[in-house]
Structure 1
């Protein structure tokens, strides 16, 4: 079914192979899209992959089946897919028995997707919906299938140019987003899963760590896509460990993210130099953080401690000012 709402979007496991790995047993499960299917559907729909939407369609059934397996998706799962494209991964998710909603920014693709489900997996039609919307604009208000407290998972081949904003936006707006398995550009995957002290540890690494734990779980070669991208891809798995949803927790998150942005905005500077105009006097001492350290050495716990100290000291200053005005 198509819901038209807007015209705008531990430990390493075995690497995902770059060629079809579908076995005879897998092939019997259902018909997924191969290269010929993808090109035919695209031609019938008058669709050409565009750089604007970061479109590279998976043409290998073995790859999408393995993504679904690594995501631990099954009949009890409730799944959100972002950027379904022509439906390669969509059909693999439905093949598992899961209920799902796909969010697609490109109107022709969103309109075509139900026809693809009807052709290749008609028995799954009642477990599937597609919303024509920019994923950066979704919320519980306009994505009612995920508005309750029922846990759900994100499984997606994300548009590489907006992968990180999409992930962080969904985690912020949906406290019931419990896990994800996403395919992203390899360099993005490395940054998302990076740990303190590494050269690639930065803003995405720390902000994602606020919500839970991420790890790289496989690489994917270029030849499973049409058109083949100019970069390698990788899978990132994530499990949520933080479920705060009240106003106080949101205030702390915003302050923590503000300090992360400031610290990494001047990466080579010490915390004292990078944050001296950002936090009240005494913040480092209150938090027990050495101000001569650099942002890339701090864990999310330490950034949170800085934020808590900053908020507390700012509140004390405000209270003192109010008291002085009343005196």
Structure 2
């Protein structure tokens, strides 16, 4: 049975990927500093899978800890989620993001090579494209990220590509994904960030619970059917399966690949609100406010390469995304969280 190290494995996407890995027969070791996640997630993973992954609390920049993990466990591959991800914060605190996301990834990669681990799946982002001049993003488009967060993701992609060329045994998959939403169907794990949410669905979920008062919808005059921005929202379970399939692909194929993960079908902010209201029975009050700088009217994935190369395709639509989000938040509310 192969053992996978998942950095940031207690976080939103990481925890769902840990479940998918364990369901797929992998052993999992998690490394997470809990800066934007909670230890209770491990109990939820245990309830879902009937087994708990090995957990280390710590940072990817801690060489001593990384060396200990690779010495203690026969790691065959790494899935790397551990990164700071708030776009606004990245603009105001760029050095924090370059240190954690770029320098941290270099430290991790150095220790991986030292331990002779040959498989690396990187959690990248559609933000690396910037404003490509087209609504549908393809992997061969020029990259020109417009914020620090996106630049850190692109830098790590380039570092991994150069490292794969210099180390022929290293196999790398960079997964560029769009807007993860939803939760596990059990309602036991989902997106529950520390502090005020930066993303749409956890913000809506907290409004539904009465924790937050109203939603600000940034921009209502875009050239879209209802004036609000169109985004490619992808169910987190679909995303998790994409990471497992990337691991499977790298077991059979050398070199480096870069792949989009998205549904290819964008939904507007108002569509997401209306669907959430429908499945939850909760009213979500909102205010239409001015656009945010850097936001695009519309973008979505061309995921043809993921289907052709990984055999991956998103399965869940907007109603399932909202139903699972509400199930998770209604259980949080019942627990008083």
Question: For this structure pair, what is the TM-score category when the shorter chain's length is used for normalisation?
Answer: 0.3 to 0.5
Q: Work out which of the two has the higher radius of gyration on C-alpha atoms and give 1 or 2.
A: 1
Give the TM-score normalised by the residue count of structure 1.
Answer: 0.38
Give the TM-score normalised by the residue count of structure 2.
Answer: 0.37
